[in-house]
Amino acid sequence: MSLYPYKFKTIFKDKLWGGEKIKTILGKDFSPLPNCGETWELSGVKGNISEVSNGRSQGELLTALIDKHGGDLLGKRIEAQFGKEFPLLIKFIDANDDLSIQVHPDDELAQKRHDSFGKSEMWYIMQADKGSSLISGFSQEVDRDSYQKAFDEGKLEEILNREEVTAGDVFYLPAGRVHTIGKGLLLAEIQQTSDVTYRIYDFDRTDDQGNKRELHIEESLDAIDYKKYDQYKSPYLDKQDEAVNLVSCEYFKTNKLHLTGDHSVDHSGLDCFKIYICLEGSGSLVTSEGREEIGMGDVVLVPAAIEHYTFETSTGTTLLESYIDK
């Protein structure tokens, strides 16, 4: 059976801080949930395995595709590195309220404590309400002791770096970086396959039962990178009709494609799948197997064995392109 570009059923997540933008902007109906904070668009996380929604393999799970096609789907080098586990997780996040202040462990700590990958991630801001902001890293030099002192005195936010953001902004958040997504932001998230989060502070919120969410204050201390960095936003120069790199790290590489017309792709030397996230506009992904229509909010997995294909668009489209580089 020939491989083709795969789409998957959206997995909707009800969150305390979720809103309506998944439906009103991305056009994804999350009923009967009261709101939706996250969608998982491509996931190999246990208990949340994505299901194919298009073509001959409709109804099959991502794990079954990997079992059946192995290196033809993932790439031989990716299969050798990760086995049968899909290494990336793709989400959309709608923050109708601030998310908790949190941190994720790196590979070593996550493996030791949770038998899991660590969680390095990136955000692409798709839409931002006026004055929206987020937290990424520290605004001043701290160490474990001074951090603990600020936390104990209720002054945590005073030492964190908060930035106003607008649509098109990009942030890379390596494991260990304290962060939160602020109210009013809709974003695409690309991350390692992991669901390990240490919640540091949750603004004393309660659920509809009056219960506060669990915090992981002690666990987080060993996970935090206490260093202050000069820049937290990832700079890039937007260009048309060529791949513009946004983030390159050992876990993934992500480019932005702002297409005004047809665009051909050749990844014959890559030996890895590619993931495309449609940020705006529409078009078609054309392979030797046929044509797949894409529109805003769609996520498509192109198997490693499909090395040549073309995006066709008459109205223009903007895509994120993610894969694991050599």
> In this structure, are residues 34 and 21 in contact, taking their beta carbons and an 8 Å threshold?
no
Instruction: Compute the distance between CA of residue 326 and CA of residue 270 in angstroms, rounded to an integer.
Output: 7
Instruction: Compute the distance between CA of residue 325 and CA of residue 307 in angstroms, rounded to an integer.
Output: 15
Instruction: Compute the distance between CA of residue 162 and CA of residue 172 in angstroms, rounded to an integer.
Output: 14
Collapsing DSSP to helix, strand or coil, 158 comes out as: helix
Q: Across-strand partners of 30?
A: none
State the catalytic residue, choosing from 199, 205, 213, 291: 199
Instruction: Compute the distance between CA of residue 46 and CA of residue 136 in angstroms, rounded to an integer.
Output: 28
DSSP 85: S
Is 291 one of the annotated active-site residues of the chain? no
> In this structure, are residues 111 and 193 in contact, taking their beta carbons and an 8 Å threshold?
no
> Residue 45 is encoded by which pair of tokens?
């996380």
Helices (H), ranges, the chain: 21-24, 62-69, 71-74, 76-82, 107-114, 144-152, 217-221
Which of 218, 298, 323 minimizes the C-alpha distance to 311?
Answer: 298
What residues are annotated to the active site?
199
